[in-house]
Structure 1
Amino acid sequence: MDRSCNLLFALAVFILLHHNTSLASVPNISTDEVALLALKSHISSPHNILQSNWSSSSPICNYIGITCGSYHNRVTALNISSMQLHGTIPPHLGNLSFLISLDISDNTFHGGFPEELAHLQRLKLINVTRNNFTGSIPSFSSLLPNLQHMYLSMNQFWGKFHLPFNKARSVENE
Structure 2
Amino acid sequence: MTTFEKILSDNEKYNKCANNYELASSLKDDYTEIYTKLRDNLPKYADHLLGAFSSFCPFLQHITIEALKPEDLPNNISQNGIFISFKIDLMSHTIEVGDNGHIYLSREEQKATYLAMTNIKKLCKARKVKWHRKYTYKSIEDLIKHITAFYERVMGCVEEYTGGYPYKQGNGWTDPQMNKEMIG
TM-score using structure 1 length: 0.28
* Greater length-normalized contact order (CA 8 Å, ≥ 6 residues apart): 2
TM-score by length of 2: 0.27
Q: Give the structure with higher Rg (CA).
A: 1
Q: Which has the higher helix share?
A: 2
